[in-house]
Amino acid sequence: MEAGFIFVVALVAFAVITLAKGVRIVPQGEEWIVERLGKYSSTLHPGLNIIIPYLDRVAYKLITKDIILDVQEQEVITRDNAVILINAIAFIKITDPIKAVYGVTDFSEAIRNMIMTTLRSIAGDMDLDQALSSRDKIKARLRESIADEAIDWGLTVKSVEIQDIKPSQSMQRAMEMQASAERERKATVTKAEGEKQSMILQAEARLEAARRDAEAQVTLADASAEAIKRVTQAIGTQEAPMRYILGEKYIMAMSRLADSQNAKTFLIPADLQETLRGVLGRDRA
C-alpha cells in the first residue's frame, strides 16, 4: 500500500515536472531560442509555447526591444596629430535572433568594438577643428560603416549619437596657451599699428607746421619788402629805410623783453641814445 502510494506520488511529481519543462511562457519584448539535443530547433515568441521536455531546452533569451549600448570614452589621434576624447551611444534592435545568437559570440560587445574602431578611423581622417565641429558628419559615416556588419549579425542600428567629443587635457592646455599667444600677438599688432598711426600723424603735423611756418616767413618777407619799398618812397634814400625798420624792430624787441614774466635781468646799452641815433641813421650833433 505504501509502495503504491509512493509510486503515485512519484508519478504525479514526474508529470508536474514534465509539464513544467514542456510549457514556456515568453514575456512581451523577448524571443527565446530553443535547442534540441544541442542543435537549433525553434524560436519561441511572446505568449504560451510548448516544447518537448528533456529533449528541448531554452538556450538563449533575447530582448527584441531597442537596446542601448554605451560606447566608452577613448582617445583618438586626428590627422594633424591632435589627441581628442570621444564617446558615443548606440541604439540597436535584434531583427534576426538566430543570426544574433549563432552569427557572433557576443553581439553587444561586437557592435561596441566595431563602433569604437570605426570612430577612430573616421576621426583620424579629420583635422582637430573639423573633428570638433562635425558631429553630424561623423554620426552619419559611423552608422553607414557599421550597418552592413550589423545586418550580418541579425541587428539593425537605429541610431548612433556622439555624446561628447573634446580635446584631451594636454591638448586643452596647449590650445589655451595658443589662444593666449594669439591674443597677445593681436594686442602687440594693434599697439604697433596705433604707434605707427600716431607717428604718421605727428609727422604730418610737423610737415603742416613747417609748411605754415614757411608760408608765414614768406608773408613776413613780403610785408617787410613792401614796408621797405614804401619807406623808400617816403624818405627817398637807400640806407634810410633799412635803418628805420631796424630801429623799429629794436624798440619792439626791447619792449617785449621788458614785459616778459621770465626775464630776470636784461642789459641796456650804456649809450642808448647813440645806439638809437646809429640805428635811425642820425648823425651826432
Domain finish residue from 136, 167, 198: 167
Domain count of the chain? 3
User: What's the pTM value of the predicted model, to 2 decimals?
Assistant: 0.55
Q: Are residues 77 and 57 in the same domain?
A: no
Residue 255, in any domain of the structure:
yes
Question: By residue range, what is the domain housing residue 76?
Answer: 67-167
Q: Are residues 34 and 57 in the same domain?
A: yes
Q: Are residues 55 and 88 in the same domain?
A: no
Residue 144, in any domain of the structure:
yes
Domain finish residue from 120, 150, 167: 167
pLDDT tens sequence for the chain (285 residues): 577 777 777 888 878 888 888 888 999 989 999 999 889 999 999 999 998 888 888 999 999 899 998 888 888 888 888 888 888 898 999 999 999 999 888 888 999 999 999 988 888 888 888 888 888 888 888 888 888 888 889 998 888 888 888 887 776 676 667 777 777 888 888 888 888 888 888 888 888 888 888 888 888 777 777 766 766 666 655 555 556 666 666 667 666 666 656 555 555 554 555 555 554 455 444
* Dist. CA 126–CA 138, nearest whole Å: 10
Burial of 235 (0-12, 13-18, 19+ CB in 10 A): middle
* Dist. CA 192–CA 203, nearest whole Å: 16
Residue 208, in any domain of the structure:
no
